[in-house]
Every structure is written in C-alpha cells, then in structure tokens.
Amino acid sequence: MNQLGFPILSIMLAVPLVAALWCLFAPGEGEAKARSARVTALAASLIDLVLGGVLWANYEVGGARWQFIERADVFGRFSWALGIDGIALMLIVLTVFLVPLCILASWTSIQKRVPEYMAVFLLTELLMLGVFVAQDLFLFYIMFEGGLIPMYMIIGIWGGARRIYASYKFFLYTLLGSVLMLIAMLYMAQTAGTTFIPTLMTFNFSSQAQLWLFLAFFASFAVKMPMWPVHTWLPDAHVEAPTAGSVILAGVMLKLAGYGFIRFSLPMFPEASAHYMWLIFALSMIATVYTSLVALVQKDMKKLIAYSSVAHMALVTFGLFAFNRQGIEGAMMVMLGHGLVSSALFLCVGVVYDRLHTREIARYGGLATNMPAYATFFLFFTMASVGLPGLSNFPGEFLSMMGTYEISSWAAFIAVTGIITGAAYMLYLYRRICFGPQTNADAAAMPDLDKREWLVLAPLAAAVLWMGVYPESFLSPMRADVGALLERIHPAAPASDAALTVPHAAPAAAVAGER
C-alpha cells in the first residue's frame, strides 16, 4: 500500500466529509448546534492538519516519484487513484495549514447558518485536497470543478452586498474555462488509452494535438490563476466573500491553476508550452504592470489585495514557463509564499472589518496607536508581500525572476517593475491604515487583537518567517520532481535571448574557411 500501512490520503479526504455531514445532521437547535458545528469543524481540520504533518514527516525525499499510492477501480471508467509527489505534498500542507485558521477566523464573524457554513467549508477543503491527491484525470476534473459549488455557496450566502453578482460571475467564468478542459481530457484519455496521470505525463501527444490541448487547458487554468484579461472575477469574488472565503480563495484555490500547469500543461504538452511561451509571458507582463497600477488606486482594502494577487500570480506564470529549475522552483515558492501572505493579509483585513464593518481604506488611519500588536503583524505581512529578504515571498520571487531572466531579459525586466510597484501599493496601503493622524474616532477606539486573533495570526507569521529563513525545508521535497519535469520539458525548451553561456569556439576548419 504505502509506507504508512494505512490509506492516509483517503482518510484525509474522509475526515472533512464525515465532519461536514455531522455539522449538518447533528441533533440540536440554534446556538448549541452552531457551537457544536464550530467545534466539529475545527477538530476535523486539526485532524487533517496532523495527518498533513504525518504525511510530510513520512514523505521520503529522494524516494519513489509517487508516494502514498492508493488505487481502487470503483468507478468503471476511471478509478479512485490517489498518490502525491513533492509538489502536491507542499500544496496539501499549505491547505491543511490554512483551513483551521479559516475556521478560527470565522468563529465569531459568521453568525447566521453556522452549521451549513462549516459543512460547506469542510467540503471545500475536501475538494481542494482531492485535486492535489488525484492521480486519475477524471477524478482530478471532478474535484477541480466540484470546488465551484461550495465556493458559490460561501460567496452567495455569507458574502457582502453584491454577493449574488459576485457568486454568479465566479461560477460561470470558471465553469466556462473548465468545460473546455474536459473535452481536451476526453481526447487525451481516448488517444493515450489511459486516465492515469503519471502515465499521461510521459505520453507524447502529436505536436499538432498539443497546440489545441494546451489551449483548452489554458482556458481553464488562466481563468483560475487568474491571468489578465480573465482576472476580473477575482476582485469581485474576493470583495464579496467573507474573510475566510477570501483566504481559501487566495490561499489555495488560485494555486490549483499553478498546480495544473505543473501537472498537465508542462509535462504533457512540452512543445506547445514552448510554442505558447510568449503568449504566457505577454499576458504576465501586462498583468504585472496593469494590475499593480490598478492596485495602487484602490479605495477598498480587499480589492487592493485581490489585485496584488493577480500581480503575484503573474510571477508564478513567468517562472513556470521559464523552462529552467530556478523558474519552476521559484514559481512553486511564490505559490506557497503567496498562499501564506495573502491569506494573512486577508485575515488582517478581516480583523478590522469585524470591528468597523467597512473595507474602505479612508475610514481607518493611525491604527498603530490604538492597535500596536495588530499594526506589527500587518507590517510584518506587508513586508513579506513586498518581498523583503528573510520573509516567505523573497526566495520565490528571486528564483522566479532569475529563471525568467535566463530565458528572456525583457520579461524579467518587466517582472521586476512589479516588485517596485508592489512595494508602492502595499506601503501606501499600510501608511493609510496604520500610520498618520487618527481622523476617524470609531477607528481610533478599536480594541487591539484578542486571543483568538493572536492564535490565527501568530502561526502564519511563524510560517512566513520559516519560509524566508530556511526555504530548503520546502524546496527539498520538490527538488526531484522539478528535476523530472525539467528532464521531460528540456528538449522543447525555447532558446534564451540572453547568451548566458560562453559560445563554443568555432571549429578551426570553419574559422580557416572564413579567412
């Protein structure tokens, strides 16, 4: 079975499911049921966190490519095939780390329909974990697409004023992207004769087919990522979603697309990836410049962070399509770092939103005076988001840009401007909220962090520091898998515009002939 002797991945999926059903059907009424639902959800997510830890501890770095494999052919046409590599492991760890924090963050801010909320949230966790552990093409698709339903519910029921519009936009946008991917998957299963992802990753599709298949997958992942110009659902969804919804959206859901690129687009269609590299780079360059500038003028805190997410995700796509180790490892690190930092920033917004019920930046100011602990945490995460060395985003951003520079100095040049504008909008945001005069009396009267909020923010801060100081913990499980990926895509890698290696001396005969 696997190195543990029990089906740990299935159990990790079953725990949130059972807990979600218990939240919904547990006896009790009103407040008592709400309390039991909160406790159940927290307990379930903590169990998954522990299991995630067990997974990480038992993952053999340098061992088999796919570990913790499970397989049951129960669906006739496709199977319940689970298994992870280092890349999936890191994203699973990120997911199980964030979910308990989300549930803690919703402890008091969600007051209506608590059992349903907790159940839907746990189902979201189940589906996202399912995406990362699925080893079967269609199982992946079902998990990937299934995530729409709970997220639609979270935005639509517990969201803000324009929640209905945002939920529709989120659902239909992402659905349109993914159905095209389904057709591509059907074609692949038909051509390759298997739905097993590891086999498909080594299957050579014809160059012509690759071009189409890549575009179909791109339609799905570009929306989910989100890349300019199909990013417009994200600010709406983020702004209207409750805090924890934003956290899960930014922290994990956006990573599904990056994971998809690594798992499908690059290894399965290497030639097409090289062919469309410029498309990706062009969109990423526009995204970096455009969304950073848009972020600069936002009046809504969540919208600003949402746009900053789009800009950060552009760094991921830059790195992924750089076709070299620095780029791909950097992209993964940006995903993990952004998962932590953007989640933390959304939680910071949530803290003040719970007190004042507005996300408008102008309604705050001078919070450093009355909320010193909060201001410290917020500053810490702002710095991490800006890419300060020693904090989580720096290793990823640095690697990603270095990889990009190796293949295209122009793309790298534009990517770096994103870091500069990123510093501008984040510091400007921080100044307007935490520094300056206390012009708003109600904002000035807000109490500092309570114990629960400390409990939410402190682990995130620790993780951010860990990732910045010792990124090796996170890089080492992925190293072999990135190596395998590089081996696969290397023959198709496009030429670099910067001659980073010394050209070979011309053969003597040729030199003689030129004379």
Task: Give residues in contact with another protein (CB under 8 A).
Answer: 74-77, 113, 116, 127, 138, 141-143, 145-146, 148-149, 152-153, 156-157, 163-164, 167-168, 171-172, 175-176, 179-180, 182-183, 186-187, 190, 216
Please report how close the Cβ of residue 149 comes to another protein at its closest, in angstroms: 6
Taking the complex as a whole, the smallest distance from the CB of residue 166 to another protein amounts, in Å, to 11
The DSSP symbol for 507 reads P
| In the complex, minimum distance from the CB of residue 168 to another protein, in angstroms, rounded to a whole number | 6
Q: Which is nearer to another protein, 166 or 301 (CB)?
A: 166
Q: Where are the alpha helices (DSSP H) in 134-264?
A: 137-146, 148-158, 163-192, 197-200, 207-224, 233-240, 243-248, 254-260
Considering beta carbons, is residue 219 or 332 the nearer one to another protein? 219
447 close to 321: Cβ distance less than 8 angstroms: no
Q: Angle at CA 87, nearest 5°, toward 273 and 288?
A: 55
Identify any residues that bridge with 300 across adjacent strands, giving them in sequence order.
360
Which CB, 73 or 497, lies closer to another protein?
73
Q: Which is nearer to another protein, 176 or 498 (CB)?
A: 176
Q: Tell me, what DSSP letter sits at residue 216? A: H
| Closest separation in Å from C-beta 460 to another protein | 31
Report, in Å, the least distance between residue 96 CB and another protein: 20
- Give whichever of 146 and 459 is closer to another protein, judged by the CB atom: 146
Query: What is the distance between the alpha carbons of residues 128 and 122, in angstroms, rounded to a whole number?
Result: 10
Query: Could you tell me the two tokens for 475?
Result: 């890089």
Closest CB 72 distance from another protein, rounded Å: 11
Between 1 and 172, name the residue whose CB sits nearer to another protein: 172
CB within 8 Å of 138: residues ≥ 6 apart: 75, 77, 78, 185, 189, 195
Can you say how many angstroms the Cα of residue 411 is from the centroid of all Cα atoms in its chain? Answer: 22
Q: How far is the CB of 80 from another protein (least distance, A)?
A: 9
Task: Give the separation between CA 233 and CA 307, rounded to whole angstroms.
Answer: 11
| Smaller CB separation from another protein, 212 or 278 | 212
- Buried/exposed code over 21-52 (b: 16+ C-beta within 10 A; e: otherwise): ebbeeeeeeeeebbebbbebbbebbebbbebb
